[in-house]
């Protein structure tokens, strides 16, 4: 099925085929992301205006919109240039004025002939004690009054598109919408009491009252569900394709894993062991694994990843682990190497810095199978990196890589399983929208040995006091991070702020006790600064946000975040996660500059009052919206016209369940419901999905 079905042609015609839309207006519509009638029917009213006819303005509380029948008494032309034209009118009870600026007299006299009755609807105001209506929205003859809806929809607008143009074009677009076969599961539709698709369109564009423009109305919920369902069908097809791809069963012997478990100074959590067994079941299945491992800061993802990598090695293959930055790749190596060596496994790192003979030797060892686990950055994508038998690719903090890079990584081996890890707790609705093609393992427990972090808010006027207390803590053998503010999204200014704070702290805390790390440094300098801090040579590390993810120094128990109100919630939570990794009681100081905005205060108080990353992520989503939480460009989250990810996560979960069930039962969408679903995919332009069915 490679061409759009004919039944949808009217909805994908040119906008100019709609009444009142010329080339200029069609161009203006582009600012609303409207390029065809289908986009118009999915652009719903944002509110409505009550236009029911009242007998009089008497007793009406101005200002507000009112519709009354009036008799035209007299015209009062402007006395001088720039003054308005006034028309005295009376309803059944009260006299008032209609006011017009810059209107043509002949037009006004035609619209409002003296002695005749008209229906006027517009905003009534009181000016100098007298009631007036400036430029009524509607002036109708008694015969025309039936044209005025009792409740008029109000659409989103852009320059060059008026309410009148929008309403007329939308009406015409709805009128040409066909009746389509039903794609929603009949039991679900009956249970939710949802209307048919065409009925839903009619209802949302002809609201009868304010309840009909709420997102919770049955018609709107149904249209939102259609969008979410189409998206989830696309992801379910991708998942089916992934699962249908033959993999190589990797069956672990458990020998190396047992050596690691015996060497651990703690017992892994139930959540960790559950994730390990879910991953191993996937790896043994003979189909390619595509799984997301989601865990809060410090939930122990690295241990789970290592067990999975060992399963690949025990099965006779190799594993790779990719991190978004060199600091993080080296951090992984530091954490994994002692355990890998305990299990008798050769682990190496490959970054962009490797060159010449050293790089050639590593690549030769990798191709020969002498390196069992390779850790690295995106340098692992380069064409000359060839594995002997790559069984498992672990991708850390995947949202920092493009989706295309993830696919490229999968191609390094025809049958490699892929495990994606993220330490950014993602609200359920976004997780379903972004990773709906993957199976998900969640780490919802903290391993033993993690201490609670006390979080406090401190005004920046107390800087001197904070530095003094910091000095006492360093004298006491503790280590601290000092994170500098984000300055207007500029790395140059960020750097200046960090260097200034570094000099200031060095002067007070002592020359050799303070280190500096920032994004502009050469990798070797960065590593040296980090290594000195890890070894305890420097006691306080001044940093920009390069330490946000993954850096692990158990002795560091103090985190100072300067101008904390300039950071996002998720970022603050990640930064705080750098402390509390050892046995010492840990503190995170959020230094803010007064006065705080309402949003800034809410972010800081949320962080102070909660350490639950998933709760924090939900608050973040409610405050910022989906695109911002994940970074719109790379987020992979679709933009919906009707559905609201922040408020309709339950609907998204329902859509995922329904879509997966449909694809499991009818992978090629051949049943009557499957055929209807194909129409939906075409309607909502999920072309990728259609391609997947065609090849599937």
CATH T-level assignment (fold) for domain 453-610? Rossmann fold (3.40.50)
How confident is residue 639, by pLDDT bands cut at 50, 70 and 90? Answer: confident
Q: How confident is the model at residue 487 (pLDDT cuts 50, 70, 90)?
A: low
| Lowest-confidence pick of 107-116, 392-401, 628-637, 670-679 | 628-637
**Orientation angle between helical segments 326-342 and 301-314, nearest 10 degrees:** 60
**Closest by alpha carbon to 18, among 32, 39, 46, 48?**
39
Q: Copy the structure tokens of residue 312.
A: 């690949």
606 or 444: which leads in pLDDT: 606
Please say if the pLDDT value at position 693 is more than 80: no
What φ, ψ does residue 44 adopt, rounded to 5°? -90, 155
User: What region, left, alpha or beta, does residue 631 occupy, with left being phi > 0 and alpha being psi -120 to 50 degrees?
Assistant: left
Tokens found for residue 497: 């702020």
Banded model confidence at residue 618, pLDDT cuts 50, 70, 90? confident
What does the pLDDT read at residue 353?
Answer: 83
Least confidently predicted of 260-269, 341-350, 403-412, 567-576: 403-412
User: What H or E segment, with its residue span, contains residue 370?
Assistant: none
Where is 50: in which H helix or E strand?
A: strand 47-50
The CATH code belonging to domain 52-148 is 2.40.50.140
Residue 358, both tokens: 């050293």
The alpha-helical segments, DSSP class H, found in 343-396 are: 356-368
- DSSP conformational letter for 73: E
Q: Report the share of the chain in percent with pLDDT over 70.
A: 88
Can you tell me the distance from the alpha carbon of 144 to that of 637, in angstroms, rounded to the nearest whole number? Answer: 46
In a 13 Å sphere around the CA of 434, the CA atoms on its Cβ side amount to 27
Which pLDDT does position 408 carry in this prediction?
Answer: 55
- Average pLDDT of the chain is 85
- For residue 433, pLDDT over 70 is answered with no
Contact predicate 444/271, CB 8 Å: yes
Confidence of residue 491 (pLDDT cuts 50, 70, 90): low
User: Which of residues 45 and 428 earns the better pLDDT score?
Assistant: 45
Q: How confident is the model at residue 627 (pLDDT cuts 50, 70, 90)?
A: very low
Q: Is 636 left (phi over 0), alpha (psi -120 to 50) or beta?
A: left
How high is the pLDDT of residue 253?
92
Q: How is residue 233 annotated by DSSP?
A: H
Q: Give the C-alpha separation, 34 to 15, whole Å.
A: 9
For CA atoms 273, 275, 278, 284, give the dihedral sign. Answer: negative
Least reliable range by pLDDT among 210-214, 513-517, 548-552, 574-578: 548-552
Specify the pLDDT at position 379.
80
Output the pLDDT for position 287: 81
Q: At what angle do helices 613-624 and 598-609 cross, to 10 degrees?
A: 170
410 pLDDT above the threshold of 60: no
82: phi > 0 → left, psi -120 to 50 → alpha, else beta; which?
A: left
Confidence of residue 566 (pLDDT cuts 50, 70, 90): confident
Q: Which residue has the higher pLDDT, 249 or 490?
A: 249
Q: How many residues does the chain have?
A: 696
Reported as a single tens digit per residue, the pLDDT across 133-171 is: 999 999 999 988 888 888 999 999 888 888 889 999 999
In angstroms, the CA 351 to CA 10 distance is 54
Among 125-134, 228-237, 592-601, 622-631, the range scoring the smallest mean pLDDT is: 622-631
- Pull the structure tokens for residue 146: 């039936």
DSSP state of 478: -
Domains 52-148 and 453-610 share a fold: no
Return the percent helix, strand and coil in the chain, to nearest 5. Answer: 45, 20, 35
- Ordered by start, the domain boundaries in the chain are 52-148, 269-443, 453-610
Q: At what angle do helices 598-609 and 569-576 cross, to 10 degrees?
A: 30
Alpha carbon distance 555, 535 (integer Å):
10
Looking at 16-30, 164-178, 231-245, which range is the least confident one? 231-245
pLDDT digits (tens, 9 = 90+) for 250-278: 999 999 999 999 988 888 999 999 999 99
Indicate left, alpha or beta for 529 from its phi (over 0: left) and psi (-120 to 50: alpha).
Answer: alpha
d(CA 411, CA 382): 12
User: Residue 252: CB partners within 8 Å, gap ≥ 6?
Assistant: 280, 283, 284, 310, 311, 314, 315
pLDDT digits (tens, 9 = 90+) for 413-425: 556 888 988 877 7
Look up the CATH architecture of domain 269-443: 3-Layer(aba) Sandwich (3.40)
Rounded to an integer, the average pLDDT of 243-247 is 69
For residues 536-554, average pLDDT? 77
Cβ 642 vs Cβ 44: under 8 Å: yes
Cα(399)–Cα(434) distance, integer angstroms: 10
Residues 6 or more apart from 227 whose CB is under 8 A from it?
640, 641, 642, 643, 684
Give the C-alpha separation, 71 to 94, whole Å. Answer: 11
Which range is least confidently modeled, 188-192, 289-293, 367-371, 468-472?
289-293
Most confident of 89-93, 435-439, 620-624: 89-93
**pLDDT for 413:** 52
pTM value is: 0.67
pLDDT band at 340 (very low <50, low <70, confident <90, very high): very high
- Residue 470 in this model has a pLDDT that exceeds 90: yes
Stretch 186-193: mean pLDDT? 95
pLDDT value, residue 197: 97
Burial class (CB in 10 A: 0-12, 13-18, 19+), 261: middle
Determine if residue 286 is left, alpha or beta; phi over 0 gives left, psi from -120 to 50 gives alpha, anything else beta. Answer: left
Helix axes 197-205, 163-175, angle to 10 degrees: 160
User: Could you tell me which of 299, 458, 306, 274 has the C-alpha nearest to residue 372?
Assistant: 306
Token pair belonging to 133: 């209506």
Share of the chain above pLDDT 90, in %: 49
pLDDT-derived band of residue 118, with 50, 70 and 90 as boundaries?
very high
What are the Cα distances from residue 435, in Å, to 231, 414, 419, 615? 11, 22, 12, 19
| CA 424 to mean position of chain CA atoms | 12
């Amino acid at each position: 099925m490679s061409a759009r079905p004919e039944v949808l042609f009217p909805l994908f015609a040119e906008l100019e085929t709609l009444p009142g839309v010329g080339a200029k207006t069609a161009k203006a519509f582009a600012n609303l992301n409207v390029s065809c009638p289908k986009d118009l029917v999915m652009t719903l009213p944002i509110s409505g205006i009550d236009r029911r006819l009242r007998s009089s303005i008497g007793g009406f509380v101005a200002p507000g919109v009112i519709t009354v029948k009036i008799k035209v008494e007299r015209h009062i032309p402007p006395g001088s240039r720039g003054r308005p034209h006034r028309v005295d009118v009376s309803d059944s009870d009260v006299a008032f004025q209609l006011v017009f600026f810059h209107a043509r007299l002949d037009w006004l006299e035609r619209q409002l002939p003296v002695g005749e009755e008209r229906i006027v609807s517009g905003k009534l105001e009181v000016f100098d004690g007298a009631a007036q209506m400036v430029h009524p929205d509607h002036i109708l003859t008694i015969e025309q009054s039936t044209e005025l809806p009792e409740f008029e929809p109000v659409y989103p607008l852009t320059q060059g598109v008026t309410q009148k143009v929008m309403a007329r074009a939308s009406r015409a677009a709805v009128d040409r919408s066909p009746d389509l076969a039903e794609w929603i599961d009949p039991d679900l539709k009956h249970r939710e009491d949802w209307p048919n698709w065409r009925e839903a369109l009619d209802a949302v564009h002809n609201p009868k009252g304010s309840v009909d423009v709420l997102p919770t109305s049955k018609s709107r919920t149904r249209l939102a569900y259609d969008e979410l369902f189409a998206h989830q069908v696309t992801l379910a097809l991708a998942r089916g394709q992934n699962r249908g791809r033959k993999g190589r069963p990797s069956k672990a012997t458990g020998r190396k894993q047992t050596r690691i478990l015996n060497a651990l100074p703690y017992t892994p959590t139930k959540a960790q062991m559950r994730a390990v067994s879910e991953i191993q079941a996937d790896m043994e299945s003979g189909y390619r694994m595509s799984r997301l491992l989601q865990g809060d800061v410090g939930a122990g993802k690295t241990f789970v990843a290592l067990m999975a990598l060992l399963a690949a090695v025990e099965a006779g293959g190799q594993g790779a682990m990719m991190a978004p930055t060199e600091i993080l790749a080296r951090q992984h190596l530091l954490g994994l190497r002692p355990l890998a060596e305990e299990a008798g496994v050769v682990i190496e790192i490959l970054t962009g810095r490797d060159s010449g003979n050293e790089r050639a030797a590593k690549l030769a060892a990798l191709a020969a199978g002498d390196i069992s686990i390779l850790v690295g950055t995106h340098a692992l994508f380069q064409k000359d990196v060839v594995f002997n038998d790559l069984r498992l690719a672990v991708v850390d903090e995947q949202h920092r890589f493009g989706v295309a890079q993830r696919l490229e990584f999968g191609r390094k081996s025809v049958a490699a399983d892929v495990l994606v890890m993220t330490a950014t707790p993602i609200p359920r609705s976004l997780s379903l929208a972004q990773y709906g093609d993957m199976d998900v393992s969640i780490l919802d427990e903290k391993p033993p040995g993690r201490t609670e972090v006390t979080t406090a808010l401190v005004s920046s006027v107390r800087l001197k006091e904070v530095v003094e207390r910091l000095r006492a803590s360093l004298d006491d053998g503790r280590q601290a991070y000092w994170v500098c503010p984000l300055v207007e999204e500029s790395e140059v200014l960020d750097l200046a702020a960090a260097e200034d704070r570094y000099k200031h702290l060095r002067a007070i805390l002592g020359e050799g006790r303070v280190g500096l790390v920032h994004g502009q440094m050469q990798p070797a300098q960065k590593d040296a600064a980090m290594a000195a801090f890890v070894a305890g040579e420097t006691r306080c590390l001044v940093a920009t946000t390069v330490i946000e993810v993954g850096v692990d120094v158990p002795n560091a128990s103090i985190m100072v975040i300067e101008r904390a109100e300039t950071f996002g919630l998720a970022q603050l939570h990640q930064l705080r996660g750098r402390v509390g990794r050892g046995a010492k009681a840990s503190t995170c100081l959020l230094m803010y500059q007064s006065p705080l905005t309402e949003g800034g205060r809410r972010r800081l108080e949320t962080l102070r009052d909660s350490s639950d990353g998933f709760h924090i992520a939900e608050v973040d989503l409610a405050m910022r919206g989906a695109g911002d939480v994940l970074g719109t460009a790379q987020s992979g989250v679709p933009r919906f016209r009707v559905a609201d990810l922040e408020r309709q996560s339950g609907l998204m979960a329902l859509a995922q369940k329904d879509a997966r069930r449909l694809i499991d039962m009818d992978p090629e969408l051949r049943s009557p419901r499957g055929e209807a679903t194909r129409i939906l995919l075409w309607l909502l332009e999920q072309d990728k999905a259609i391609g997947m069915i065609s090849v599937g």
